[in-house]
Chain A
Amino acid sequence: QVQLVQAGAEVKKPGASLVVSCKTSGYTFTSYFIHWVRQAPGQGFEWMGVINPSGGSTVYSQKFQGRVTMTRDTSTRTVYMDLSSLRSDDTAVYYCARVRSGEVSGYRTFLYWGQGSLVSVSS
């Protein structure tokens, strides 16, 4: 079965960098895009960007451009989201999500989600 397993909670100081991992299994890793979405406490969802595990190409939300980097390791089937220059308002649960299909009709629908990684940014 398809699984996306994320690391647990982290506490970071303002100005630090964060790396969240998303280890996948149960499907062909290079066939499905992985998106990153975050949810601030008690808030809705914010899309951060997407990576194509096949070639590593990425598209980032302009809001995070310059601060976010998404990479993948095909040998371990793991996707990483790196966010730098952390601020208190980066406190959120960060989710990775795999798309429904590799086709145009499904590459922006999130069928499988990780369990989320809670990141707290505080001095």
Chain B
Amino acid sequence: DVVMTQSPLSLPVTPGEAASISCRSNQSLLHTNGYNYLDWYLQKPGQSPQLLIYLGSNRASGVPDRFSGSGSGSDFTLKISRVEADDVGVYYCMQGLQTPLTFGGGTKVEIK
């Protein structure tokens, strides 16, 4: 199975500041079709997860442009340019290259 490792585990941020979350896989997530099969999800307290970024760097519809995804192969980053109070929750990366699909352990973002 592909192992997904996220860091940090917890990320206290001040509103208006930038935040960055790392996601690494033990295998390349680059498909032969050129896509990196790496998605980012946010699970707000008490809610189902919501898609933020798909295929490494594509923002899902309705996601503010404060969120951006980058990286390729086995090293990916989610950046929030200016954190808002509504961004609190647990962020997960997930690989979709091979089954079983696997998730990172999550990064809890909280406001200082």
Cβ contact within 8 Å between B99 and A44: no
A111 and B50 CA atoms in complex are apart in Å by: 7
Does B69 interact with chain A (Cβ within 8 Å)?
A: no
Task: Name the one of B39, B48, B102, B105 contacting A109, with C-beta atoms under 8 angstroms.
Answer: B39
Contacts between the two chains (Cβ within 8 Å), count: 54
Q: Which residues in A have their C-beta under 8 angstroms from that of B51?
A: 100, 109-111
Place the interface of chain B in its size category: 20 to 34
Task: Name the one of A44, A47, A95 contacting B100, with C-beta atoms under 8 angstroms.
Answer: A47
Max chain B C-beta neighbours (<10 A), residue from A63, A110, A111, A116: A110
Does A76 interact with chain B (Cβ within 8 Å)?
A: no
Given contacts A95-B48, A109-B55, A115-B48, contact A44 B92 (CB under 8 A): yes
Q: Which residues in B have their C-beta under 8 angstroms from that of A100?
A: 51, 54, 60
Closest to A96 in B: B48
Q: Which residues in B have their C-beta under 8 angstroms from that of A59?
A: 99
A59 and B106 CA atoms in complex are apart in Å by: 25
Given contacts A35-B101, A100-B51, A116-B48, contact A108 B41 (CB under 8 A): no
Given contacts A44-B92, A47-B100, A63-B100, contact A108 B48 (CB under 8 A): no
Q: Which residues in A have their C-beta under 8 angstroms from that of B49?
A: 45, 95, 110, 113
Max chain A C-beta neighbours (<10 A), residue from B35, B60, B94: B94
Q: Which residues in A have their C-beta under 8 angstroms from that of B54?
A: 100, 106, 109
Nearest Cβ distance between residue B9 and chain A, in whole angstroms?
11
